[in-house]
Amino acid sequence: MLTAPRVGWFVSCAALAALLPFAVGCRLVPSNDPPKELLKQTWKEPGREGYTHPQTDKIIIENLAAECSGAPRSGPVAVVKPMNILSLSAGGKYGAYSAGILAGWTVHGTRPDFDIVTGVSSGAIVSVYAFLGPQYDDKLKKFFTETDQSDLFKLRPLHNLSFHGSLGYPYGMKQVIEEEITCDRLAEIAAAHQAGRRLYIGTLNIHEKQLTIWDIGEIACRGTPESVALVRKVILAATAVPGLLPPVEIDVVVDGKHYTEIHSDAGVVAQSFIRFAPHQVPTPGTKALVGSQLYCLAAGKIDPDPVIGRMGILKRVGAGVSSSLYALYKEELIKMYALCVTTGMQFNLAAIPKDYKIDEISTRIRAREMRPLYESGYQAAVQGMVWRQTPPGALTGEEPEARSGTVFHTVR
């Protein structure tokens, strides 16, 4: 999850990136953008017109309406086979905590095979290995305990702002993705997809200002060099923090014409998400997912640490934006909890402990800071993970009281 200093920095980065093209007379985004009229229309992939992923929000709304109506259910309930779903949030280097939990969970002996895995931002990196299974725990450990910022991207502000519209360029990250996302790796993902499991990664479609969800297993099943290249681009885009790293261009063809979309880190529109495949749809208004488990791994704390020090303009702006992102994730967790309650799933949440001292800038990648984070998550899981089974705001004292004055005393 984003922190105030991080967002304040990005606000200034984005402003510089936006202004520089006017100063140097160059265009930093592709010239063959989809036209406005086309963006307003619905796009369907050829041969997949009838293949529609169920809308999670629609499921929640229908289930809540059915629960509140009190009307008796008629007909048989199509109970879906119990599933294990893993939702990995955005969070930069804090993803080390999620990686540690997965490895410790394996050692504890209770880690399930996940039927659905979703990831945003750094959660996208974790999602691939989590989906493939415990045999990749060492890969996760190496990435989140031995990687420094210089291994992933180079900060050359003047050069990169001129040519890429960002402060940094992901030379190292591109290399890591190319080494890890191979034909063999995609073949493993394709085999899991064909067995009914699903891996989804979210990016921000900058043209549409909306979350784009990529069905990685479906792409992998095509088994072509183009599918490998696309998955690499999706993962790179998922980790392309606006302002810090350049967006990723993805070529699309609509009605026979070629256009270029630009995608980046989706954390500003979705810190996490759930998506079902058509064969996994629960019957609306029923507890069809009884026995299923939803695991939400937060790469960060549920509540932000207070902002300390002199409140300059960037810190104030950053605190405001960061607060909205924390609020976004809380609302997403409440929505996921509503989905669980109305379908019979069990809600499970793990986050970095409130009293754990963490660096405030989640994109300042330092192995020496990620190692203890990884170890903290690992030990928590090895000892038997204690999952929170209520969303934020459900416990006494988690929602602020209305004030009637300005004189207070602390409560212990």
Residues designated catalytic:
121, 265
Conformation bin of residue 109: beta by default, left when phi > 0, alpha when psi is -120 to 50: left
What is the torsional sign of CA 1, 14, 370, 275? positive
The pairing of strands 154-155 and 210-215 is unpaired
Residue 131 contacts by C-beta under 8 Å, 6 or more apart in sequence? 114, 117, 189, 192, 197, 199
CA atoms within 13 A of residue 45's CA, in its CB half-sphere: 9
Measured CA to CA, the distance from residue 133 to residue 114 in angstroms comes to 8
Q: What is the CA radius of gyration of the chain?
A: 22
The pairing of strands 293-297 and 116-120 is unpaired
Measured CA to CA, the distance from residue 78 to residue 238 in angstroms comes to 35
**Tokens 């297993």, located at residue:** 217
Measured CA to CA, the distance from residue 95 to residue 259 in angstroms comes to 34
CA distances from 368 to 94, 147, 151, 359, 374 (A): 12, 9, 14, 11, 10
CA distances from 412 to 29, 353, 397, 409 (A): 54, 19, 12, 10
> Contact at 8 Å (CB) between 343 and 63?
yes
Measured CA to CA, the distance from residue 208 to residue 266 in angstroms comes to 12
The pairing of strands 168-169 and 154-155 is antiparallel
Task: Write the burial class of residue 158 (CB in 10 Å: 0-12 exposed, 13-18 middle, 19+ buried).
Answer: exposed
Q: How many CB atoms lie within 10 A of CB 214?
A: 22
